[in-house]
Chain A
Amino acid sequence: MAAMSEAPHFIVVDADTDSQTELYDAVNARLLAEGAVRGTFLSAIRAREKTYPTGLDFGHCQVAIPHIDPEHVILPGLLVCRNAQATPFHAMDDPERELAVRLSIWPLVTDPENQTDMLGSVISLLQDESSYRHLLTGTPEDLEKTLDGVLTADRHPELAGPAVVRGLTRATSTTTWRHPGGADNVVDTGGRSPLRQRGTLRQYGRGPHRLSVGPSIR
């Protein structure tokens, strides 16, 4: 069970609100129901967003990546919130600028050394407009496949070409995506793969071409 609880959760929340408060409440309620965050999460992440906003303007889309220190998080994972309407998030590098955000990605980090790769993978994916559309409009099952494809590429760096960066090494974590529905829905390719890499070190760099490796990227 210990290993299971360490596996990153992948959660999709679909909202339909123009209220920032309602959006935060919806995400927080779902995370609390999943047992993924502590009672301090909501106020901590709102305060953090005020001081250090997380809106990113990719040009073709505007996305926010709200995240908070590990002390407020219980289970590692990634929540993707798709909103039928846009709500305002402020730009990370220009807090006075307001972005209209429908897609927000919430990394749930309990171990920063090992879990920031998943955010990087998703951010790289968002640079491609069709991937953004897919994340925003795909079924949760499609999303899971897409993200699992990206993370499969993470688990098999030998497929990703010679993108090696000196000096930055990170221990990689096993990226097992568990659907919140429970054990019957476990997508557990990482856990059973002979190429499982828990506890091993690999070079941290990767090329942009890597994201095309996953079989389920469209």
Chain B
Amino acid sequence: MISKKILVCCGTGIATSVQVANKLQRLLKDRGIDATMKECKAVEVPAQSADFEPDAIVSTTVVKSPSADIKVYRGVAFLTGVGADKLADEIADDLKG
């Protein structure tokens, strides 16, 4: 089990980011990753990235990566279930790589 930090964001930071964080944390655990999740609003991503230093960002809305080192994934799959396992595989592989 390796440990990683994931920043999860959505438009308001009050609803969908929490659902995505919950689902993704479980899927990553199944894939051998112990993830610490933090939720925020899309507009807070630059400040939260500097503060939390995430290994990856997952967003339900469109956000720019604050740094070339941090990949941003579109996380709506974790709300709809469509393609969720495949995306979790991709994120887990990237985090392990």
Show the binding face of A for B, using Cβ within 8 Å: 48, 51-52, 54, 56-59, 65, 67-70, 91-95, 107, 109, 112, 116, 119-120, 123, 126-127, 163, 165-168, 170, 204-206
Contact = CB atoms under 8 A, between A and B. Distances in A.
Q: Is the interface of B mostly helix, strand, loop or mixed?
A: mixed
B76 interface: yes
A93 B61 contact: yes
A67 B60 contact: no
A205 B25 contact: yes
Contacts of A112: 13-15, 18
Interface of B: 10-16, 18-19, 21-22, 25-26, 29, 34-37, 42, 59-62, 74-76, 79-82
A78 to B, nearest CB: 11
A179 B21 CA distance: 31
A92 B14 contact: no
A70 to B, nearest CB: 7
23 contacts: A48-B12, A57-B76, A57-B80, A58-B80, A65-B16, A67-B14, A68-B12, A69-B14, A92-B16, A93-B61, A112-B13, A112-B14, A112-B15, A116-B18, A120-B18, A120-B22, A123-B80, A126-B80, A165-B22, A165-B25, A167-B25, A168-B22, A205-B25
A54 B18 CA distance: 15
Contacts of A116: 14-15, 18-19
A52 B12 CA distance: 8
Given A57-B82, A166-B34, A168-B22, A52 B15 contact: no
Contacts of B16: 65, 92, 119
A123 B82 CA distance: 12
A137 to B, nearest CB: 21
A80 to B, nearest CB: 15
A54 B80 CA distance: 12
